[in-house]
Amino acid sequence: MKKIKVRCPATVSNLCCGFDILGMALNDPYETIELTVSNTPGIRIKHTDDFKLTEKPDENIAGIALQAMINELDISYGFEVIINKQIRPGSGIGSSAASAAGIIVAANELLGLSLSKKEQVRFAMEGEVIASGSRHADNLAPCIYGGIILIRDTATFDIIELPFPSMYVTILHPQIDIKTSYARGILPENVPLKSAVRQWANVAGLIAGFMKSDYQLISRSLEDVIIEPVRSTLIPGFNDIKTRCMLIGVMGGGISGSGPSVFMLSEKEETAKDAENIMIEIYERLGIDFKTYVTTINKNGVEVIGRNE
C-alpha cells in the first residue's frame, strides 16, 4: 500500500518578546512519522519510542488531528501510523505540535490533497488543542512552514513568513516537569501599559532586525519584560545561564514555549557551542538531568523523507 515517511522538526514558540505570536523551527531534534494507507477503515497507531504515549487514536494527538481531517474531507481510507518521537513530551520545544503537524502534512502528501499550508495548520490545530488546552499556532505554524513565523491572529490563521539571517540556536532541555497550564496560570492577567509598550517596541525591533538581517538590532530587541521575569523562576539556573551567555556574545534568548527548555540565539556557531558548554556546566553543577542541542533554523518545516507507492 501507499506509504510515506516525514520528518517533523522541533519548534521554539514564544520567541522572547514575541510571546504567543512568534515561533521558529529547528533542524534538531526532530521526530518521524510513517503513514500507510489501508483499506481497513480506522486509524491504528504504534509508537516506536519509549515515551509511553497513548496509542488510542481518539486520545493520541496525531490520531485526533488525522481523524478531524478524515471527518471533514470525508476520507474513506484507513491508516497505519508509526511514530518515532524524539522530541520529549513536555520539553517545551513543540513535541505535540510535531506529531499533529507531521501527521497532517504526511496525509496531505500521501493522498495528494494539495491543501494549503494554512489549511494544514488548521487541521493540525485539532490535535494541538488537546495537548495544550488552548488554540495556539506558534509551534504548529513554524513546524509546517519552517523558518521564523509570525502568527498575527490565530482565529483567522493569519500566518506570516519572516525573512531572517543565518543564526545558530542552542537549546537546553532540563528534564523537569512544567505543566503548560501551570505556566499559563502564573502569568498576570493585567500588565502595566508601560511594560506592554516596551514589549511591543522590542517585538517591532525584532521583526525589523530579522527582516534587515541586523544582528545587533535582533540582539537589542531580544528582551521580554513581561513573561520571562515570571516564568524564568520555574527554571533552575535560568538567570545564571542567560547572564553568562550574553557575556560571551550570544545575541539573546529566553524560555522556549512555556518551558522548561531554554533557547539562545547566536550569530556564530562557535558562540552557540560555547553557550552549550555554559549550560552543561551549570546543569551538571545543579545535578539536574538535561539535554542540549546546537542547531540551526529549519527552513522547510515537515519534510517527506521516504515514499513508497
* Annotated active-site residue in 34, 109, 126, 128: 128
**Residue of 5, 13, 16, 18 that binds a copy of itself (CB under 8 A):** 18
The CA distance from 99 to 102, in Å, is 5
CA within 13 Å, CB half, 47: 20
* 190-to-135, 227, 250, 298 alpha-carbon distances in Å: 20, 12, 31, 35
Give phi and psi for 29, each to the nearest 5.
-80, 175
**Active-site pick, 11, 154, 170, 180:** 180
Stretch that binds a copy of itself, among 34-42, 79-87, 166-174, 194-202 (CB under 8 A): 194-202
Instruction: Select from 1, 191, 286, 305 the one that contacts a copy of itself (CB under 8 A).
Output: 191
Interior/surface letters 165-204, b for 16+ CB within 10 angstroms, e for the rest: eebbbbbbbbeeebebeebeeeeeeeeeeeeeebbeebbe
Examine the residue annotation and report whether 180 is marked as an active-site residue of this protein: yes
- Examine residue 196 and tell whether it contacts a copy of itself (CB under 8 A): yes
Q: Does 150 bind a copy of itself (CB under 8 A)?
A: yes
* Contact range with a copy of itself by CB under 8 A, out of 46-54, 118-126, 155-163, 244-252: 155-163
Nearer to a copy of itself by C-beta: 75 or 211? 211
Find the part of the chain contacting a copy of itself (CB under 8 A) among 11-19, 26-34, 256-264, 292-300: 11-19
**Part of the chain binding a copy of itself (CB under 8 A), chosen from 2-10, 184-192, 274-282, 286-294:** 184-192
Count of other CB atoms within 10 angstroms of residue 207: 21
128 is catalytic: yes
Decide whether 195 or 239 has the Cβ nearer to a copy of itself.
Answer: 195
Contacts 24+ apart (CB under 8 A), 270-278: 271/168, 272/168, 272/169, 272/170, 273/170, 274/248, 274/249, 275/170, 275/245, 275/248, 275/250, 276/170, 276/172, 278/241, 278/244, 278/245, 278/248
Interacting residue with a copy of itself among 4, 8, 12, 22 (CB under 8 A): 22
With CB under 8 A as the contact rule, the residue among 1, 187, 286, 305 that binds a copy of itself is 187
Helix (H, G, I), strand (E, B) or coil at 44: strand
Which residues are near a copy of itself by CB under 8 A?
Answer: 17-22, 150-153, 158, 160, 162, 187-193, 196-197, 199-205, 207-208, 211-212, 217, 220-221, 226
- State the catalytic residues: 128, 180
